[in-house]
Amino acid sequence: MLGDLNPAGPWACQPWDMLIRSVSLFDTTGWRWPHFSPRELACRCRGQFCDGAYWHDPEFLDALEKLRGAVGGPLVINSGHRCRGWNAKMGGAEHSMHKQIAVDIALDGHDRFALLAAAESLGFTGIGLGRSFLHLDRRARPARWYYKGSRALWQT
Band of residue 76 on the pLDDT scale cut at 50, 70, 90: very high
- Parallel, antiparallel, or unpaired for β 133-137 and 103-106? antiparallel
Q: Given this model, what pLDDT does residue 156 score?
A: 78
Look at the pTM and tell me if it is higher than 0.85: yes
* CATH of the domain spanning 33-154, picked from 3.30.1380.10, 3.30.70.260, 3.60.150.10, 3.40.190.10: 3.30.1380.10
Band of residue 154 on the pLDDT scale cut at 50, 70, 90: very high
Tens digit of pLDDT for each residue in 3-35? 333 344 444 444 445 899 999 999 999 999 999
Mean pLDDT of 37-53: 96
Mean pLDDT of 60-66: 98
The phi and psi torsions of 105 (rounded to 5 degrees) equal -105, 130
Tens digit of pLDDT for each residue in 99-130? 999 999 999 999 999 999 999 999 999 999 99
d(CA 44, CA 66) in angstroms, rounded, equals 24
Structural contact between residues 86 and 44, judged by C-beta atoms closer than 8 angstroms: yes
**Rounded to 10 degrees, what is the CA torsion of 40, 33, 27, 101?**
50
Tens digit of pLDDT for each residue in 137-150? 999 999 999 999 99
- Parallel, antiparallel, or unpaired for β 126-129 and 143-146? parallel
d(CA 130, CA 150) in angstroms, rounded, equals 5
For residues 47 and 16, the model is more confident at 47
Does residue 93 have a pLDDT over 70? yes
Q: Given this model, what pLDDT does residue 17 score?
A: 57
Q: What residues contact residue 98 under an 8 Å CB cut-off, 6+ apart?
A: 79, 80, 81, 82, 87, 92, 137
